[in-house]
Amino acid sequence: MPIDAKESWFRFVTRSAAQVRRRFGVPDKAMEVRIVRVFRAALRPRSKAGRKPEQETASAAVMWVEGMDSYLNLHPRPSLRLFQRLLWQRIYIQVFPDFARMEKLERQYRTNTLRRNVKAYLRRRDRKRSLARRRVLGGAK
């Protein structure tokens, strides 16, 4: 049923309540509480599922993608493994301001965590594109 632009929200809600009573009968106290809870939840716009990545992860992911794009333009190209190691070292220095002063174990933990988070972030972000690519290529990964 379309809502008339001039109809107030109060009138709309009372009309909806009358329709609920007509269709399902007069609710008991427990059902009334559930209906109000559902209505209240439906009023608020839902946020996107999941957590936002930390600033470190997001900025490192941008640097990683830009670095790997620049690898394609290098001629002659160094080995990919060497290039990626050097790229991560540049990212660490920019993302962690105290990288040079970190203790060895803390540095290992934070760099491994950053790499894992960047990989997961890029995998989640690129999921739709990779699914479309699989469909176009006929099931190839």
- Rounded CA separation 44/40 (Å): 7
Q: Using one digit for the tens of pLDDT, what is the confidence trace for 55-100?
A: 999 999 999 999 999 998 888 888 999 999 999 999 999 999 999 9
C-alpha to C-alpha distances, 104 to 16, 47, 66, 98, 116, nearest whole angstrom = 64, 39, 28, 12, 18
pLDDT of residue 81: 94
- Indicate the DSSP class of residue 74: -
Contact 80, 23 (CB under 8 A): no
Max mean pLDDT among 17-21, 73-77, 127-131 falls in 17-21
Q: Model's pTM, two decimal places?
A: 0.58
- Rounded CA separation 60/115 (Å): 9
Dihedral class, residue 47 (left if φ above 0, else alpha if ψ from -120 to 50, else beta):
beta
Question: Structural domain boundaries of the chain?
Answer: 9-43, 55-136
Q: Which residues contact 94 (CB under 8 A, 6 or more apart)?
A: 59, 63
Confidence of residue 44 (pLDDT cuts 50, 70, 90): confident
Confidence of residue 3 (pLDDT cuts 50, 70, 90): low
Mean pLDDT across the stretch 26-33?
Answer: 92
Confidence of residue 127 (pLDDT cuts 50, 70, 90): low
pLDDT of residue 75: 86
